[in-house]
Structure 1
Amino acid sequence: MSASPPDEAKPDPYVAFRNAGFRRFLLSNFAFNLGRQAMSITIALQVLHWTNSAAAIGFIGLVNVIPLIFLVLPSGVLADKYDRRKIITITMSASCALSIMLVMVTHFHDCIPYVGVLRGANHLIETVAHFFTSKDNLGAIHFDNPALPIVYLLQLLHATVRVVGAPARGSIIPVLVPPSQLTNALTWNSSTFELSAVLGPVLGGFVAVWSYTAVYAADAVFSIVLAVSLVGIALQPRKPRDASLPVPKASAGATFIWRQKPVLAAITLDLFAVLLGGLTAMYPLYAKNVFHFENYEFWAGCMRAAPSVGAIMMAVFVAHSRPFKRPGITLLWSVVCFGAAIVIFALSRNIFLSLFALFLTGICDNVSVVIRHTLVQMLTPDYLRGRVTSVNQLFIGCSNEISEFRGGLMAARFGPVAAATFGGICTIMVVVSVALSLPAIRTVPPLNEIKPVDPEPESGADTENSNAQ
């Protein structure tokens, strides 16, 4: 047997860091994700403190998913048509402004006059929450803070600007590094995201005990760091779209994913695994109502961080390892183990066993993320990456936000234990369904052997030429 090539035998785990643009984006995007993760747990804790309602936490997920449904496809077209660096700068500047508003509303919430529109909004929220709350808990919930509807509104606007910028952020890495370094760059991007997901919730939960506004102020700073970080960086040459082909429609990303069955299978697995197995909304409830911790904010942050500790360790391992030889099979088994770990967490009454189970979910989730992201970015031609990334993020965002909505409402009606156990079991069932209905996922070649696929022209696509690229 011939010896393996030197670069295959000893892969350089830090090759992507040789690109200055990638380094700047990685660090600033890490800071942004750190603020976002901290703010996510803080808003949940703030709403729980103001209302004592699990359903109210679930409404945060509903607020976040509304702009995702309506704006994510147009946002993908923007990312393909305009300079992705400028889109990131504009949307992150807007995010900074909204975080500053959130600081002001939270700090001066006692000074906000309880006018009719705020009173009516609180009454509406309370009416819906009552429908999803068990009779035993109805007397404990309250919706009398005039700032609560404003916080939901600011969160809606936050979600809107971040949805608009998400396809640009998600598709910029392939133009920051050469194609040969893309898998390595995506792995490290996943690692830094998971690191932010470790530090963000812990720091957010810890600081929230002292001040909610401090967390929102930090998010404003980190957003502006990302806004200015991409100014002046050089991009890799991009393969232009063939001008003789029709201009891709906004739905071209969805069409591409539908035709590439391995990508469809990977995204479907992620969608339903997170939709059914997501636990984000239940961490404060477990810390407060299941484990009965007095400093439940801190332990809720620890629960939020535990999966990311496992994800970071797995990401470092993947970066120093050869590509998965059978990534499809690996993906299927990783999601099965993810569901099993959720069931362990749901039934555990020992905090350390629970944190270990969440740690295992992070290990499994990172394998899924690396395979799915690499599969999507490697198969997609650059002129479609914004559109495809937007559809991918629609799946991700819907699963995350609707999962939070589902978890909060199920926990309010049936309790957090039943809600989490149900999700873990259903996740395992989804894997079986996908493996049988989309068998192409089982035959995916090693990720480093995948090449971009030029899609077939869509019937009915615009025929006018475009200088979008």
Structure 2
Amino acid sequence: MPHDPFLALRNRDYRAFAAGSLASSTALQMLSLALAWEVYARTHDAMQLGYLGLARATPVLLLALPAGHAADLYDRRRMLAITQALFAVFCAALALASQAEASLWVLYLLVALTGVTRSMHGPSRNSLLPLLVTEQELHNSLTWSSGVFQLSAIGGPLLGGALIGITGKAWPAYATSAVLCVIAAATSLRLRPRKIVRTSNERYTIKGITKGAGHLWREKTVLAALALDLFAVLLGGATALMPLYAEILGVGPIGLGALKAAPYIGAFLMAIVLAYRRPSNRNGQALLLSVAGFGLATIGFGVSTSFWLSLVLLALLGGLDNISVVIRSVLVQVRTPDELRGRVSAVNSLFIEASNELGAYESGLVASWFGPVVSVVSGGVGTLVVVAGIALAWPELRRLGRLVPLDE
């Protein structure tokens, strides 16, 4: 029987889930671009971009594990809808604060509140997906989910950049993000997940919160994959410095939006390729090689002085990164029982969100000391060192094979 690249999309609940994810992710990407543009436009200080990342990351670091336990105990669909509604509230508040030209600390406070919401949003969304699809649909659904995210990350920066370019203000982008989050919340309420078969009547306890981390500690291959992503993204966070590179390359807000969108264009195209291919028999090797390629592309972008070459390198960087995203996502899901998915997803979200935002802080810090080129190039070199170290430390990751059954 031939491989069906649209297997998950034939599932009504998955289509609704993907539509809601498209709306909320587009909103958050637009929000991220608008915040970076406004903060840098008001301060012209690279360090302030680092503080922006820190304001988002700190709540995730503190609250991801408790939020993951909540996702395992309570209705994941309702929890997802509530977090999307909260995003809408905070985006609307940012629009009002921006229009009133409020102090930067007001923006940082609202960013921190979105960080609190992100700590709950990731575990509820990621743990809900396996309850909407079959085992055969899982790999394909995660591939398309990565594509949906990349598509939103293309549209979000481009739309945000266009709104800023037309109006010269950030608040229209914040307001549009609020509307999209309302749409996402309404869509999430239409989902029909299967019920979890619980083996015990578990309550919310400190011991329960740590079960996800304990499970990952026993699953050494999953732990290695998460560690690889953590350090690679922490060191290779070039995207945080896009406002500076827009200046270096001599482009305005629309060019900035294109730079932000380029990695996601590459990642979206790679998602299409992966959807049409059967799941790999050599996932470990593919994971390590894709992250190494990510590091090399980061180095190339760091030294580029051509806008078009920079776009190509960013697209290549994004495509290689998406290979590792899909493999890691499938690995985490297939090695986790239903009753622990929220907590394991919380740890995964902690790795992803914290590495992204702390990577932005690290990039801003190094850029403020040595300049953006040194920051990006050193991050790419560090990524290559991390790949080599993890490949040597965890040989079982190199030997990782097929993860899910074929759709036959």
Q: Deviations over 1:101-130 (max 9, x none)?
A: 111111122xxxxxxxxxxxxxxxxxxxxx
Q: Deviations over 1:41-70 (max 9, x none)?
A: 110000011111111111011001110111
Partners of 1:92 and 1:162 within 8 A in 2: no
Matched, 1:350 2:306: yes
State the 1:205 CA deviation: 1.6
Q: Secondary structure at the match of 1:249?
A: helix
Distance (whole Å) between structure 2 residues aligned to residue 35 and residue 243 of structure 1: 37
Identical columns (%): 39
Q: 1:256 aligns with which of 212, 215, 220?
A: 215
Q: 1:271 aligns with which of 230, 233, 240?
A: 230
CA 29–427 in structure 1, closer or farther in 2 if over 3 Å, else same: same
Distance (whole Å) between structure 1 residues aligned to residue 190 and residue 317 of structure 2: 39
CA 399–238 in structure 1, closer or farther in 2 if over 3 Å, else same: same
Flag the structure with higher helix content.
2
Q: 1:103 aligns with which of 95, 98, 103?
A: 95
Partners of 2:262 and 2:312 within 8 A in 1: yes
Residue number in structure 1 paired with 2:186: 228
Distance (whole Å) between structure 2 residues aligned to residue 440 and residue 61 of structure 1: 34
State the 1:18 CA deviation: 2.2
Matched, 1:48 2:40: yes
Partners of 1:167 and 1:393 within 8 A in 2: yes
Distance (whole Å) between structure 2 residues aligned to residue 216 and residue 246 of structure 1: 35
Partners of 1:21 and 1:230 within 8 A in 2: no
CA 246–225 in structure 1, closer or farther in 2 if over 3 Å, else same: closer
Q: Deviations over 1:161-216 (max 9, x none)?
A: 12122200111110011121111111100100011111111221221122311111
Q: 1:395 aligns with which of 337, 347, 351?
A: 351
Distance (whole Å) between structure 2 residues aligned to residue 360 and residue 280 of structure 1: 14
Partners of 2:17 and 2:191 within 8 A in 1: no
Distance (whole Å) between structure 2 residues aligned to residue 237 and residue 94 of structure 1: 25
With normalisation by structure 1, the TM-score equals 0.83
Residue number in structure 1 paired with 2:155: 199
Distance (whole Å) between structure 2 residues aligned to residue 277 and residue 93 of structure 1: 32
Q: Deviations over 1:398-452 (max 9, x none)?
A: 11000111111111111000000000000000000000011110121212249xx
State the 1:260 CA deviation: 0.9
Distance (whole Å) between structure 2 residues aligned to residue 328 and residue 174 of structure 1: 22
Residue number in structure 2 paired with 1:91: 83
Distance (whole Å) between structure 2 residues aligned to residue 69 and residue 365 of structure 1: 23
| Consecutive unaligned residues in structure 1, runs of 5 or more | 1-5, 110-145, 451-469
Q: Which amino acid aligns with 1:445?
A: G
State the 1:88 CA deviation: 1.2
Matched, 1:437 2:396: no
Partners of 1:280 and 1:304 within 8 A in 2: yes
Residue number in structure 2 paired with 1:241: 199
Q: 2:256 aligns with which of 297, 300, 313?
A: 300
| Structure 1 segment 139-154 matched on structure 2, within 5 A | 146-154=102-110
Partners of 2:33 and 2:161 within 8 A in 1: yes
Q: 1:309 aligns with which of 262, 265, 269?
A: 265
Matched, 1:285 2:244: yes
Distance (whole Å) between structure 1 residues aligned to residue 196 and residue 106 of structure 2: 43
Distance (whole Å) between structure 2 residues aligned to residue 19 and residue 449 of structure 1: 18
Residue number in structure 2 paired with 1:467: none
Residue number in structure 2 paired with 1:38: 30
Q: Which amino acid aligns with 2:122?
A: A
Matched, 1:72 2:64: yes
Distance (whole Å) between structure 2 residues aligned to residue 16 and residue 438 of structure 1: 32
Q: Deviations over 1:287-317 (max 9, x none)?
A: 11x2233x2x222211111111111111111
Partners of 2:297 and 2:317 within 8 A in 1: yes
CA 199–232 in structure 1, closer or farther in 2 if over 3 Å, else same: closer
Q: Deviations over 1:5-34 (max 9, x none)?
A: x2xxx1111111222221111011101100
Q: Secondary structure at the match of 1:402?
A: helix
Distance (whole Å) between structure 2 residues aligned to residue 420 and residue 334 of structure 1: 18
Q: 2:317 aligns with which of 352, 361, 384?
A: 361
Q: Secondary structure at the match of 1:432?
A: helix
Name which of structure 1's ranges 238-247 and 94-103 shifts more when overlaid on structure 2. Answer: 238-247
State the 1:92 CA deviation: 1.5
Larger Rg: 1
Residue number in structure 1 paired with 2:287: 331
Q: 1:159 aligns with which of 86, 106, 115?
A: 115
RMSD: 1.7
State the 1:237 CA deviation: 4.4
Matched, 1:12 2:14: no
Q: Which amino acid aligns with 1:205?
A: G
CA 94–237 in structure 1, closer or farther in 2 if over 3 Å, else same: closer
Q: Secondary structure at the match of 1:448?
A: coil
CA 264–62 in structure 1, closer or farther in 2 if over 3 Å, else same: same
Q: Which amino acid aligns with 1:76?
A: G
Distance (whole Å) between structure 1 residues aligned to residue 375 and residue 267 of structure 2: 24
State the 1:147 CA deviation: 2.1
Q: Secondary structure at the match of 1:44?
A: helix
Residue number in structure 2 paired with 1:459: none
